[in-house]
Structure 1
């Protein structure tokens, strides 16, 4: 029995999608947190922060952050790759940050001992933070 090259290629092509379906090992919550910290550290070194835009759950370090000291305190401008941005004011009353402008309030969630997630509209940002009451390790 002989096979034509086209038959071999067709058979190999049918197996490729199956090989691509393997999701790999499932990560634990701790492993996801460790990945998020590593991603944040890499991005911070490059002046970027992890963000998920448009209501998605995919955090990537594609947003940049500018810091400016003003008479109202430290202001952060988080810039999106498409030109959009949000301005945040760092507070000293334990809230972390608040929206510095715009109609939508910023929602802050502690996600780790040294990180917060800020949500405004359909954008989410992960920022380094000093959490009161958490010990440095």
Structure 2
């Protein structure tokens, strides 16, 4: 995880976290391994990754946690209104541990949501294309 620059060179911070690695389906060829890390006790499931080796499972887990932390560092975006049919709508673009989610609210009620692996800027562009008109965009 990059923590900034010093004289043009990036500094890297390492954090040791307790990771559980378990063999989940043993077989003659090594089976599958799952690495898990529970960073948020309020979540129903910890961060997990499954791979053919314990090392690969740890590596995939690190990628999953890294992506989640990068998304959490970005603030939510609110899109208010839009073209015809969207004047009473609000779209919230929020970071989740597994990707980005867009919540659509129409006339004060949840109208739907969708999840995406796209980055926040791409999702904002998709919402703006969808609602049309000239909505207000607020970055919280």
* Range into which the TM-score falls when normalised by the shorter chain: under 0.3
- Rg comparison, structure with higher value: 1
TM-score normalised by structure 1 residue count: 0.27
